[in-house]
Structure 1
Amino acid sequence: MSMLSSSMMVWLRSFEAAARHANFTRAAAELCVSQGAISQQVKNLEGALRRPLFVRASRSLSLTPEGERLYAVAHDSFRSLDLTLSQLRASQNREEVTLSCSPSFAMVWLTPRLGNFFRTCPGTHLKIQGEFHRLDLLQLHRQGLNAAVRYDLGRYEDLEAKPFLDEWLLPVASPKFLEQHPELKTPAQLKPQWLLHDSSPWVGAGEYEEWEFWLEQAEVGIGELELGNTFNLSLLALAAAANGQGVAMGRAALVLDDLVSGRLIDIFKLSVPSVASYAFITPPDADDSVQKVEMWLQHEAREFRDSCRYHLPHLK
């Protein structure tokens, strides 16, 4: 006779949350019940199994060997259920694609091109969410996302990451800033207090990652990068540069229009290929509507590369 009664399922859910958090209070907050309810449900489970699942100390909570064995199975089972339920809910409308996209890229590169997408794929409704946290398959489905665009190093375990656009790094500043600093002719003349930083160009990147990489490739060492101003979005650093506040590390996809208009200046005409690139992130079983978005992005990326080569012929 099966032990999986309705009461047992409730007890197992409480046990799994308590074991994952190693804390009854945090488990209670997640499941929207009281701490006492979690404690009682775990006790009920231990009573039904006739063995303890936790070692309870005054300030700690740890699993017994039997508890560890049960947690491994319960965690995988609830995760699989959650993933399947999310997939079933998402599959109700296959012609609506919700795309998570890095905010700076979404605002500068993607949004101006959406008109082309709607003309090319009139039957597909594309929704954009600006965010840059790293994703896995479960997060993708929990958030109701069909795909994502990320600027990073790739390396996704349970998602497919298909690069569609390489990136180049090039220092940029406003005409006003360069007028105020006519001595700035070579990379070696940069001062650390002038530099504007994107503190997190991709998840896991260092605070000065892009500037450090560009300076290394340019064979220049200026030190004390922390003297420059730091922003949590590349777009903010570029806005500061456009307003004459310093020199930002530009990415071609984000600065080309400003370079063509003259709002920003490519100071040294020295571009460096970035170690990161833009990739289209999807689950392994992406449907036709998601593939339409990917094909459109690949097309737009090819046209953008041609435009870059025309306006920035020095790109490597």
Structure 2
Amino acid sequence: MAILSTPLTRPQLVNLVLFVSIITILLNIVEGILSMFFGRQSNSVSLIIFGIGSFVEVTSSALVLWRFATESSQETSMISMNHKDKYLDKERKATLGIGCLFILLALGTFLHAIISLTQKSHPDNTMSGIIISSISTVIMLTVYFCKRYLAVQLDSSTMASEAQCSLACIKITIVLFCSSLIYILWKKGWWVDSVAALIFCTFFSKEGIEMIYWANSESFDGGCNANGVKKVQDDVNSDDESSGTEGGQIHVIGEIEVEPVVEKMRQEETRSVETKWWGNNGTDVALENGTRNFVKNDYGNYMVKSLTIAVEPRYQRN
């Protein structure tokens, strides 16, 4: 896709987020209605759950709209510190909200599947599930990659959670397709449909717990890396061990120089910064990607120009 290789400004990226979210809402409303209708017609548990999942995606996309709608009306260069704090709070709430949606869906799916297994209910016709899941897979793959691109470029936890929601829908679609196909070929596999629904629970629970944990984490910074931000000290210590300066103490010297970048975004998805550190022997060593996300680039499009740190080893080299 051409859009994935073209550098865009933050306002353009935000507008693209709004556009993708609206399209996602409209598509999932149609998908959800059709899935639940044909699911009830064919008595398919997994197709009904798939339809419910579509409405979860609708709610998730609505949270994304809530997060970015205000920012789209502001000039990026004029965003104040108060607005930055407000956006960070929105990132946290939206991420938490999407995570809770995953947990609620997992609970509903589990109860519905258990009841169906107990009553030994089975779908009367799974052809509708095959058709819907086939079309949905193609659409959701395109939507997922677009959302993932936006999550990385905007470094947004909300957008990353939304991308994970789309990825979960893709997994659900694949399971729905496989369970429907199995029942066509093997009528005794009446239980496959409900077991497939239980598999959905695993996907929903895992994603939901991770999102809630990240949103409630003290290290939450609104970024799309739920594993936390890599610290300068961690990277330098790691490089320090390989270069022989074991146990070196790190001191930041000088100031971090930043400049606003409004008209263009950097193409590097990692938003790496230029970093140098000096060992005890005075040799300059370049440390690439050493301070990824050290200075956030969420709201004012700031980029780090340079950062100097010094390593003091515990022993003297000969």
Higher strand share: 1
Q: What TM-score, normalized to structure 1? A: 0.20
Structure 1 or 2, whichever has the larger Rg, is 1
